[in-house]
């Protein structure tokens, strides 16, 4: 598989798409940090929000990069040629997955480096302690691995680059919307200090049960789904509100492992002719 990885990284170094997205990540990170500096001139604000925004940005850019970078291998027959040259399909799949993960990690690093380079001199250092910052960084990188595994599953088993790009890009936004919905339902309080009238007006009063509150088995299901979605983890890390920092990376790795296993199984049966 070393030859496959070497060939992929050679393509990566020559890829205008990769360098363009990498520059975008760096520029976006620097822009957010500078915006935080502008806000800090009016009231004190920590750089943490700008620094840890990268999981959301990197997940969207990775959704575009993986299908556009690897999708051409189907159309130009590169995958078929690799298989004909004696490379195992599992090795071809794994090499592409690892290359996509490396690119995604570099996107994250570009954002973090640029936001730190611009923000620390202007705004100041991060307020989070080093241990928490390390766990958030580690967990967010595991979430990126889960995203890459999902995108690779689609790309390696879809022969059309345009279709795989649409599925990946649309999929990442749907995953983010699903995470936002699950988060809003889980954060709904059990009681409200008032009620809604028939005209849609809120009437203050004593505590009343909130119809949007989740309890019992439904809450357990929602919590399980929220924990497993890499998009929900990206939101948690970006907001620095993650509660189980030591366990969340395991959920991401489980999603990555299951997606990779399913993707390789399907790819072995795929007709490359």
Give pLDDT, residue 185. Answer: 86
90 versus 213: which is more confidently predicted?
90
Give pLDDT, residue 62. Answer: 95
Give pLDDT, residue 192. Answer: 67
Q: Mind giving me the DSSP string for the chain? A: -HHHHHHHHHHHHH-HHHHHHHHHHHHHHHHHHHHHHHHHTTS---THHHHTTHHHHHHHHHHHHHHHHHTHHHHTTHHHHHHHTT--HHHHHHHHHHHHHHHHHHHHHHHHHHHHHHHHHHT-S-SS-HHHHHHHHHHHHHHHHHHHHHHHHHHHT-S-HHHHHHHHHHHHHHHHHHHHHHHHHHH--SEEEEEE-TTS-EEEEEEEE-TT---HHHHHHHHHHHHH-HHHHHHHHHHT--S-TTTHHHHHHHHHHHHHHHHHHHHHH----
pLDDT at 200 over 60: no
What are the sequence ranges of the domains in the chain? 2-172+245-269
Sign of torsion over alpha carbons 16, 18, 21, 25:
negative
Q: Mean pLDDT: which of 73-87, 133-147, 196-210 is highest? A: 133-147
1-5, 53-57, 106-110, range with the lowest pLDDT: 1-5
Q: What is the pLDDT of residues 98-122, one digit of tens each?
A: 999 999 999 999 999 999 999 999 8
**Band of pLDDT at residue 21, cut at 50, 70 and 90:** very high
Q: Is the pTM of this model over 0.75?
A: yes
pLDDT at 197 over 80: no
Measured CA to CA, the distance from residue 153 to residue 168 in angstroms comes to: 10
Q: What is the pLDDT of residues 59-93, one digit of tens each?
A: 999 999 999 998 887 777 778 888 778 888 899 99
């Amino acid at each position: 598989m070393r030859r496959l990885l070497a060939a992929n990284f050679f393509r990566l170094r020559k890829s205008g798409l990769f360098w363009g997205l990498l520059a975008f990540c760096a520029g976006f990170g620097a822009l957010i940090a500078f915006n935080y500096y502008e806000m800090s001139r009016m009231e004190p604000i920590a750089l943490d929000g700008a620094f840890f925004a990268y999981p959301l940005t990197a997940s969207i850019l990775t959704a575009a990069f993986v299908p556009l970078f690897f999708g051409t291998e189907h159309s130009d027959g590169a995958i078929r040629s690799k298989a004909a040259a004696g490379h195992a399909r599992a090795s071809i799949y794994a090499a592409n997955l690892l290359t996509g993960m490396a690119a995604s990690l570099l996107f994250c690093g570009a954002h973090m480096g640029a936001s730190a380079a611009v923000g620390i001199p202007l705004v100041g250092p991060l307020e989070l302690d080093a241990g928490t910052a390390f766990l958030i960084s580690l967990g967010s990188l595991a979430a990126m691995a889960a995203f890459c595994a999902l995108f690779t599953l689609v790309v390696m088993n879809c022969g059309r680059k345009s279709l795989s790009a649409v599925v990946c890009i649309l999929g990442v936004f749907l995953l983010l919307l699903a995470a936002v919905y699950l988060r809003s339902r889980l954060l709904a309080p059990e009681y409200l200090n008032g009620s809604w009238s028939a005209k849609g007006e809120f009437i203050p009063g004593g505590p009343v049960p909130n119809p949007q509150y989740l309890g019992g088995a439904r809450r357990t299901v929602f919590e399980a789904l929220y924990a497993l979605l890499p998009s929900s983890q990206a939101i948690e890390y970006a907001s620095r509100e993650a509660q189980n920092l030591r366990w969340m990376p395991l959920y991401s790795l489980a999603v990555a492992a299951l997606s990779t296993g399913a993707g390789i199984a399907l790819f072995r049966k795929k007709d490359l002719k």
